[in-house]
Amino acid sequence: MASLRAAFRLPGLAKVATRHNTIAAQAFRAYSTKPQGLKDRLRELIPEKREEVKQVKAEFGSKVLGETTVDMAYGGMRGIKGLIWEGSVLDANEGIRFRGKTIPECQQELPAAEGGSEPLPESLFWLLVTGEVPTQEQVRGLSAEWAARAQLPAFVEDLLDRCPNTLHPMSQFSLAVTALQHESQFAKAYQKGVKKTEYWDTTFEDSMDLIAKLPSIAGRIYQNVFRNGAKATPIDLNKDYGANLASLLGFGDNKDFVELMRLYLTIHSDHEGGNVSAHTTHLVGSALSDPYLSFAAGLNGLAGPLHGLANQEVLRWITKMREELGGKDVSDETIKDYVWKTLKSGQVVPGYGHAVLRKTDPRYSCQREFALKHIPNDPLFKLVSQIYTVAPGILLEHGKTKNPWPNVDAHSGVLLSAYGLTEQDFYTVLFGVSRGLGVLSQLIWDRALGMPLERPKSYSTAAIKAMYANK
């Protein structure tokens, strides 16, 4: 409760509070009748978890997790087991489980919005933080709390408004998150000498503020870059996170798009600890950089074409294929030729392959299910489905990639595009909004468990030769 009161005292929020005073008061009253907020539950769980980790270290601390070969060190540390990540675990064949639950299980068990069927991202965040499925009331409380914290400080709005339209949306996103560091309660508490055991408290507050503000940042970038700075619908304190994001983008009236946002934000949130955006956020956070600086670093990693930017690249790649065909029908043969052309020119086929997965990504499959339900006749969806039947065979024949199957990014763009969100350069920003839920829930636990500075050992090639040559 204290956290929500604090949120109402934030300088940025004061301006909105004037505008939405009545609604805010209603939201706060509604929230204050809730039995238990997320922070209260977390406060209860932390001592239990600290004890559990202490026991695990005492009992299993000397067990061997895996061996590291020279190839692994040169090969992007693929397969090296050296991280702890509480929210999710990725199985190469089955795909992701969030706190032990598969995506279909989350779709079944996590609270949805009234009249909706997709899980609310709020409920997934609760699950990631606590390991527990929240009640409808707890989820509503979280929606209200995030809506109440969503307002950006004026200087961040100005900063975004001054960015040239030609600056990539992901760079603007990272810039805005870095600038929000001005608000960090963790950084201020650290300067005042807060005790290590209390780090989690302000990390939680910063994470909640940051997650709450991500849709506002994304909406402002979208309106500025693609809608000539049109005024977006303001945050509605009675709406959920996905619905507010949809409104800020200008698609709030389309209930299917709102449902898509809820699903999208849920499935892109977390993919265990070793992927670039998650690992980077964790690594930078281990230096006790606050949640804003840590997440901005993670976003910069997400903006790489081998990671999150692949969702933008997939649509570019498909658009280029259509252009090259000059209006002729796309057949299996033309797709084959185009995939081979891509491979022979030394480029990757975007949306295919994965560093861990060895089967079709369940995040791809559930987006396909959504498309079959809502947009079965969309021409681009049909084309993406056709590519799915052709590309894996060619990647297998090519023989390089260990996983010829599609990943999450092969499908997200076609869904967005079907509802009119056609600006591909923006797609990774939506991935970034969702990724905040996963990496920040872990950062809270990193602080609660006192995770130390991350500092693996590296060697030079000369050192490797000296270790093993002639031995």
Under the rule (CB under 6 A), what is the footprint of ligand CMX?
78, 275, 306-308, 310, 343, 348-355, 400-403, 407-409
Sequential DSSP letters for 245-262: HHHHHT-TT-HHHHHHHH
Active site residue 182: no
Residue 409 C-beta: closest distance to ligand CMX, Å:
5
Residue 71 C-beta: closest distance to ligand CMX, Å:
12
Contact 157/15 with Cβ under 8 angstroms? no
Residue 406 C-beta: closest distance to ligand CMX, Å:
8
Contact 363/407 with Cβ under 8 angstroms? yes
Residue 197 carries which DSSP code? G
Q: Which residue is nearest to ligand CMX (CB)?
A: 353
Question: What's the rounded Cα separation, in Å, for the pair 351 and 368?
Answer: 14
Contact 222/245 with Cβ under 8 angstroms? no
Single out the catalytic residue among 307, 361, 411, 446: 307
Secondary structure, 3-state, 78-133: CCCCCCCCCCEEEECCCEEEECCECHHHHHHHCCECCCCCCECHHHHHHHHHHCCC
Active site residue 409: yes
- 171: Cβ–Cβ under 8 A, 6 or more apart, which residues? 303
Residue 232 carries which DSSP code? P
Of 102 and 401, CB closest to ligand CMX: 401
Residue 355 C-beta: closest distance to ligand CMX, Å:
3
Residue 72 C-beta: closest distance to ligand CMX, Å:
12
Residue 280 C-beta: closest distance to ligand CMX, Å:
12
Of 2 and 396, CB closest to ligand CMX: 396
Residue 78 C-beta: closest distance to ligand CMX, Å:
6
Of 99 and 354, CB closest to ligand CMX: 354
Token digits of residue 425:
């350069």
Contact 240/143 with Cβ under 8 angstroms? yes
Contact 251/257 with Cβ under 8 angstroms? yes
Single out the catalytic residue among 20, 282, 354, 411: 354
Active site residue 268: no
Single out the catalytic residue among 240, 361, 409, 446: 409
Sequential DSSP letters for 446-457: HHHTTPPPP---
Paired residues of 352 in beta bridges:
406
Residue 48, judged by CB atoms within 10 A of its CB (0-12, 13-18, 19+), counts as exposed
Taking residue 187's Cβ as centre, other Cβ atoms within 10 Å add up to 18
Of 76 and 450, CB closest to ligand CMX: 76
Of 250 and 436, CB closest to ligand CMX: 436
Of 20 and 307, CB closest to ligand CMX: 307
Residue 403 C-beta: closest distance to ligand CMX, Å:
6
Of 50 and 398, CB closest to ligand CMX: 398
Question: What's the rounded Cα separation, in Å, for the pair 225 and 229?
Answer: 7
- Three-state DSSP class for 411? helix
Residue 298 C-beta: closest distance to ligand CMX, Å:
12
Of 11 and 76, CB closest to ligand CMX: 76
Sign of CA dihedral 352, 354, 359, 363: negative
Report H helices in 375-460.
379-398, 409-418, 427-448
Express the helix, strand and coil content of the chain in percent, nearest 5 each: 65, 5, 35
Of 161 and 397, CB closest to ligand CMX: 397
Query: Which residues are tagged catalytic?
Result: 307, 354, 409
